[in-house]
Structure 1
Amino acid sequence: MNGRPAPRPTAVDPAPVPWVFDGPAAPGRPAAPGRPAAPGRPAGLPEAVLFDRDGTLIADVPYNGDPERVAPLPTAREAVSAVRALGIPVGVVSNQSGVARGLLTRSQVEAVRARVEELFGPFAVWAVCPHGEQDGCGCRKPAPGLVHAACRRLGVRAARTVVIGDIAADLGAARAAGARGILVPNHRTRPEETAAARECAPHLLAAVRRALAGVPGEAR
């Protein structure tokens, strides 16, 4: 003992990392990166499709921790089902800075996640960033950490993964991770974000059809 008081515990995570949740069965998950396509699945299909949550799969309710306020967006359930039907794993990559702001708890984030899965069926993986802009994490979109974490958990290559979202941060995360990004604009998507996007679709089912078509294109 040197007589000095012990350091106080800090609430700041010295190495912020995303929360990663597995789906119950992780349907369609390949055993390891670089494996060939499953029998009967065309080789040109993506190895995984990752969806943003708010504004893409469900209505964007700021800092929502109430499962009763979860509402699927038009064509969203059909879009996810279309990917699953081909045996391709689906995942969610979502910024939830409300946790860092003290507006959400982990249990609320998990409750909303459970409600989403009640409505959509199980996702193979969820990768969630609970940090704020000042936390210095590598997972908050447009950083690539959520995409990388999801791909690692699924055992797929980022270069063969499609990320679909509604704002530039989603496409930025895809680009930084080496994945393909498709934008589905909505009322909060800025015109310059839409103009800068290489690939756009008018709704989620159209975005999935583009993703499953194989080669990226410039047409909107």
Structure 2
Amino acid sequence: MCGFAHVETWVFDLDNTLYPHHANLWEQVDNRITTWIAAYFGVDGLTARALQKHYYKQHGTSLRGLMIDEGIAPDQFLDFAHDIDHSPLAPDPSLGLALAALPGRKLIFTSGSRRHAEAVTRRLGCEAQFEDVFDIVAADFVPKPAAATYERFLKRHGVDPRKAAMFEDLSRNLEVPHALGMETVLVVPRGSRQVEREDWELCGRGEAHVDHVTDDLPAFLTDLPAKFLGR
């Protein structure tokens, strides 16, 4: 089904999805993870960066790789990684209004922490629009795109995937939702704005598991009633 008239639950990734890629908020988290890895292994920044990206690409998060290979406890890592300056994010009234107009439930599904998600939505001014946050702790530290994590999310929140839509900035994280019957939307960087992303993170917009692509989430959501909801 290509459209949103059937959607009862709206599921949003957090970083680079609810806010524009060019805010580069995730760059701060990324840099703090590099700092943590450098200190943990006693290596230089370049070596730490290489380790970090290896873990991230192979396991979905650097944290998951460190838990598997090093047996680290996740709490202090998450607190350190997400201790960032959220001030680059400005309140986005258009996003709040667009979310409020969507019929049904709104949920955040992130491989980050609840604390970080709440800080981001407060800064954007849309925290009241979300029923709950499913974070990496709720996922038992198994990040997207693991199929078991999507199943865990659906069960925890009682979501029928055939009546849900998923918004994500990574194409690979939409493969499982699409297979489960969710309408999928890939959120990409706006125009020629400079963003701190790897090439593989920005690919996949033409894949079959991507139903829609947008570089402006508030505008896309604002247009939904007229274009897709039959209103």
What's the TM-score once normalised by structure 1's chain length? Answer: 0.56
Letter in 2 for 1:182: V
SS state at 1:49 partner: strand
Range 110-119 or range 51-60, more displaced = 110-119
For residues 36-84 of structure 1, the C-alpha deviation after alignment (integer angstroms, 9 at most, x for no partner) is xxxxxxx925111111111112432335412533644896x53353232
Paired residue type of 2:85: E
Matches within 5 A, 1:60-79: 60-61=26-27, 62-63=29-30, 64-66=81-83, 68-69=85-86, 71-72=88-89, 78-79=94-95
Mapped pair 1:51 → 2:12:
yes
Match of 1:124 in 2: 131
8 Å CA contact 1:46–1:162 kept in 2: the answer is: yes
Aligned CA distance change for structure 1 residues 165 and 71 (closer, same or farther; 3 Å): farther
Match of residue 144 from structure 2: 141
Question: Which residue of 79, 89, 109 corresponds with 2:105?
Answer: 89
1:24 matched residue in structure 2: none
Q: 2: distance between equivalents of 1:183 and 1:74? A: 22
| Cα RMSD after superposing both structures | 3.5
Structure 1 residues 199, 117: closer, same or farther in 2, change over 3 A?
A: closer
Give SS of 2:154's match.
helix
**One-letter code of the match for 2:120?**
V
Cα distance in structure 2, aligned partners of 1:198 and 1:74: 28
| Residues 144 and 176, structure 1, Cα contact 8 Å, conserved in 2 | no
Identity rate, percent: 19
**1:143/1:172 contact within 8 Å kept:** no
C-alpha separation in 2, matches of 1:67 and 1:50:
25
Greater Rg by CA? 1
- TM-score, normalising length: structure 2: 0.54
Aligned position for 1:194 = 205
Q: Flag structure 1 segments of 5+ consecutive residues without an equivalent.
A: 1-42, 97-108, 216-220
Contact kept in structure 2, 1:129 and 1:146, CA below 8 Å: no
Q: How far, CA to CA, are the matches of 1:185 and 1:163 in structure 2? A: 14
The structure whose residues are more often helix, as a share, is 2
Query: For residue 214 of structure 2, what is the amino acid of its counterpart?
Result: A
Shift in Å at residue 205 of structure 1? 1.9
